[in-house]
Chains A and B, each alone.
Chain A
């Protein structure tokens, strides 16, 4: 049983460029979450999906950010017109929602550096 995978692991880009990250959840997990972690801070929630439906978006997620989960499997997170403040670790987690709660399992993250 493989865990959550994320690609790429590292991305360096110039300000103003667009970037896209991919997350592959644990097989059969119906929920997928995106978080952002800056240096010295805990992860902050960005958005999550149940199957293919995006159920919640944080106010942190500006118009430049968009996430998709077509067919309820992998997910992509796109950042348009990157800014230096977007530099962070982007973490993906997946879970199997059963009854009243779920436990999230995290991927290794994608570290974004915007020059």
Chain B
């Protein structure tokens, strides 16, 4: 069964510093991977997704993530944090069959709350 582990439930950075949010997945076949952001009392907004094309994926708001099969990781980074980045971030996996077709439903990690200090 697929699973997602997000290391660090809270990450705190200074404005302008590098943001690194960690995500490791467990899947028996190459998965589809997603990062979502959630602001308080709101739904989830898609940041970026990996669908087996390029291993380095660029998303919205300056975020990017790199798929590393050997490490089963999909860490999210941003070179310079902004105050508006403060939110909760979720990594999610959609498992696929041997033919590469996604089953659809997402399995989410526990989330990482990002705090940005002035």
Contact = CB atoms under 8 A, between A and B. Distances in A.
Interface of A: 4, 6, 31, 33, 35, 40-45, 48, 55-56, 91, 93, 95, 97, 100-109, 111
Interface stretch (B12-20, B62-70, B74-82, B94-102): B94-102
Contact of B104 (A6, A43, A91, A97): A97
**Most chain A beta carbons < 10 A, residue from B44, B108, B110:** B44
A24 to B, nearest CB: 13
Nearest to A111: B41
Nearest to A99: B101
Contacts, number: 66
Contact of B102 (A33, A55, A93, A100): A100
Interface string B26-47: 0000001010100001111110
A12 B45 CA distance: 25
B43 A33 contact: no
A45 B96 contact: no
B49 A106 contact: no
B104 A102 contact: yes
Contacts of B4: 42
A109 B41 CA distance: 8
A101 B105 contact: no
B50 to A, nearest CB: 10
Nearest to A104: B106
Nearest to B101: A100
